[in-house]
């Protein structure tokens, strides 16, 4: 289910919404419309799967949910790329890590509140009657209206808007300066390995925790593990938004990546569940640090004419890592090890080691990216003019 949705999100961001956003440059409308349609999509999904539940067609109802969420992700991806460009439009360079950190604090509260509300609704029949999805739909629709009616971009350059809109569609990526293209590509390759590595184990971590050969914990303990991660999101968001908001992006990101490696390594060797909670904290903190610093790096690189596409490719490294990485890396490795006679827990640990190897490869690529950017005149956002290739 996660794979279908993430593929739909990544493909439409990269090949549809990114191009359209660069052409029309209306990030507020992209956020509002995408969120609104995603909310409406949830309502239609509920009507569809409840119809088949009423006919006792449980398998069909399950597929309705899977493919409906895939379609919904298409609209969410419109909102995702819109948000990325919008934050870049609304903030100055030194403000971005701070704002992303503040978003993480809000997201942490939302994650904890959502888990509590979702669990309560599920236990009281929220899935069967659709309320668990309808509540989410209402929140999305309301948030889309709030965004549309409250956020206004600076229109000082409105006199040049029609000229810009007319010509922006003619800017192909090949017209970017070569140094910028190469620097961005190396950075994206680094993000692919880093995100695929650290997120490949997201789905099997719960299996590892609850397995009798692992920590053999209850659902309550797994919820605690998840909440520790959310708390780490909030604490890291607070620090990123205050203490390290003006620290060099490269140093902040490297610290976040090393924290992710430490978290996965500790989860692999932790002797008890209580001590393993530290792994959840490290991974939660690293998530915020990596997200905030990598976003700031891409925002510095991306000229306005290319923000939609460059942010779409950037977002793709995150969204694909949630489903594809588990399907192609962590899951098969665990299955192979189990087939060779390893215990379930040790097989999962094998997947954790593979995740660390992928992140380490990403670290090497990241160092190459940083060095290339230093040694070449990579255009920055603050540059007034970008010279395009003839």
Is residue 124 included in any domain, yes or no?
yes
What stretches of the chain adopt beta strand conformation (E)?
none
pLDDT tens by residue, 37-85: 999 999 999 999 999 999 999 899 999 999 999 999 999 999 999 998 8
Is residue 172 included in any domain, yes or no?
no
Residue 160: exposed, middle, or buried by beta-carbon count in 10 A (0-12, 13-18, 19+)?
exposed
pLDDT at 379: 52
Angle of the 273-301 helix axis to the 307-325 helix axis, nearest 10: 160
Is residue 158 included in any domain, yes or no?
no
What is the enclosing helix (H) or strand (E) of 292?
Answer: helix 273-301
Is residue 322 included in any domain, yes or no?
yes
- CB distance 281 to 229 below 8 Å: yes
SS3 385: coil
- CB distance 336 to 351 below 8 Å: no
Is residue 157 included in any domain, yes or no?
no
Query: Can you give the pLDDT of all 390 residues of the chain as single tens digits?
Result: 566 778 888 889 988 999 999 988 899 999 999 999 999 999 999 999 999 999 999 899 999 999 999 999 999 999 999 998 898 888 777 677 778 778 878 877 887 787 778 777 877 777 788 888 999 999 999 999 999 999 877 655 544 444 445 444 547 777 888 899 999 999 999 999 999 999 999 889 999 999 999 999 988 898 889 889 989 988 998 888 776 667 888 999 999 999 999 999 999 999 999 999 999 999 999 999 999 999 989 988 888 889 899 999 999 998 888 778 888 899 999 999 999 999 999 999 999 999 999 999 999 999 999 999 988 756 554 443 444 443
Is residue 169 included in any domain, yes or no?
no
Please name the residue that has the structure tokens 């979702």: 118
Please state the pTM of the whole predicted model. Answer: 0.82
Q: Which residues span the domain enclosing 239? A: 2-150+177-375
pLDDT at 173: 79
Look up the CATH number of the domain holding residue 21. 1.20.1250.20
Domain count, the chain: 1
Please name the residue that has the structure tokens 């289910």: 1
Residue 212: exposed, middle, or buried by beta-carbon count in 10 A (0-12, 13-18, 19+)?
exposed
Is residue 384 included in any domain, yes or no?
no
Is residue 383 included in any domain, yes or no?
no
DSSP codes, 146-182: HHHHH-----TTGGGHHHHHHHHTT--GGGS-HHHHH
DSSP codes, 99-165: HHHHHHHHHHHHHHHHHHHHHHHHHTTTTTSSHHHHHHHHHHHHHHHHHHHH-----TTGGGHHHHH
């Amino acid at each position: 289910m996660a794979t279908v949705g993430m593929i739909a999100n990544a493909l439409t961001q990269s090949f549809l919404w990114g191009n359209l956003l660069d052409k029309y440059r209306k990030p507020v409308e992209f956020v509002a419309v995408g969120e609104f349609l995603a909310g409406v999509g949830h309502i239609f999904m509920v009507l569809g799967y409840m119809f088949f539940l009423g006919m006792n067609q449980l398998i069909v109802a399950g597929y309705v949910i899977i493919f409906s969420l895939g379609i919904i992700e298409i609209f969410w991806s419109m909102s995702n790329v819109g948000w990325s460009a919008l934050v870049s439009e609304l903030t100055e360079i030194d403000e971005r890590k701070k704002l992303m950190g503040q978003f993480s604090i809000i997201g942490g509260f939302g994650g904890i509140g959502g888990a509590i509300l979702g669990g309560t609704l599920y236990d009281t029949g929220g899935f069967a009657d659709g309320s668990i999805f309808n509540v989410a739909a209402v929140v999305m629709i309301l948030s889309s209206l709030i965004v549309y009616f409250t956020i206004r971009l600076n229109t000082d350059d409105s006199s040049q808007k029609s000229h810009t809109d007319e010509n922006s569609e003619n800017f192909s990526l090949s017209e970017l300066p070569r140094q910028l293209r190469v620097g961005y590509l190396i950075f994206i390759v680094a993000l692919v390995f880093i995100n695929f590595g650290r997120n490949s184990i997201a789905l099997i971590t719960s299996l590892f925790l609850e397995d009798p050969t692992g920590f053999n914990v209850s659902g309550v303990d797994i919820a605690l593990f998840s909440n520790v991660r959310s708390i780490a999101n909030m604490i890291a968001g607070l620090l990123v938004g205050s203490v390290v908001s003006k620290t060099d992006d490269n140093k902040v990101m490297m610290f976040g990546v090393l924290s992710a490696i430490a978290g996965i390594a500790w989860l692999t060797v932790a002797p008890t569940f209580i001590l393993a909670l530290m792994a959840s904290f490290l991974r939660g903190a690293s998530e915020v640090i990596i997200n905030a610093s990598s976003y700031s790096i891409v925002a510095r690189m991306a000229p306005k004419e290319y923000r939609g596409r460059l942010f779409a490719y950037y977002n793709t490294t995150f969204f694909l890592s949630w489903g594809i990485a588990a399907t192609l890396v962590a899951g098969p490795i665990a299955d192979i090890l189990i087939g060779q006679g390893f215990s379930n827990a040790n097989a999962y640990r094998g997947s954790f080691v593979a995740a660390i190897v992928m992140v380490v490869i990403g670290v090497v690529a990241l160092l190459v990216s940083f060095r290339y950017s230093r040694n070449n005149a990579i255009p920055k956002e603050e540059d007034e003019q970008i010279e395009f290739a003839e």
